[in-house]
Amino acid sequence: MLGLGTGGCSLSYRLDSFLGKSKEETPETTGSIHPAPAAQPGDAAMLRPDDLAFATAAATEVLTRTDQNASQPWENPATGARGTVTPTADAYTQDGFTCRDFLASYVHDGSESWLQGGACRVHQGKWTIRNLRPLKRS
């Protein structure tokens, strides 16, 4: 057992997050990993963090409701972004937590996009978004 822990493979780990990272340093690119493509209008990646906070608050509000066809609008007055969050199904249990899936619209700078996501009620009954991605249309 001691041999497995001290020999064989080596592991390299950078402590950038603990030691601080120079803003002038560029990320290292490897042969098999390509940088993500630039976000296009309507992508979920375009959702600004401050807009996401308003959308998350709307999701938290609407997911607690049990009425059919519930929908919660949201708007960020600072950016002009707005949208709605609508649960798409009844609650279900996953890993012992109550969860719900939802659709969210995002309207900003004249473009509209749709996101699909899921949230679970985990910490002291508070809803936590567990995934959020662009809606795949078929």
Q: Which of the residues in the chain have pLDDT under 50?
A: 1-27, 29-45
Domain boundaries, the chain: 44-134
Name the pTM for this structure: 0.64
Q: What sign for the dihedral angle of Cα 50, 132, 112, 92?
A: negative
Q: Among residues 91, 92, 73, which one has the least CA distance to residue 83? A: 73
- Quote the pLDDT of residue 46: 61
pLDDT in tens, 112-126: 999 999 999 987 888
Token pair 């929908």 is at which residue?
71
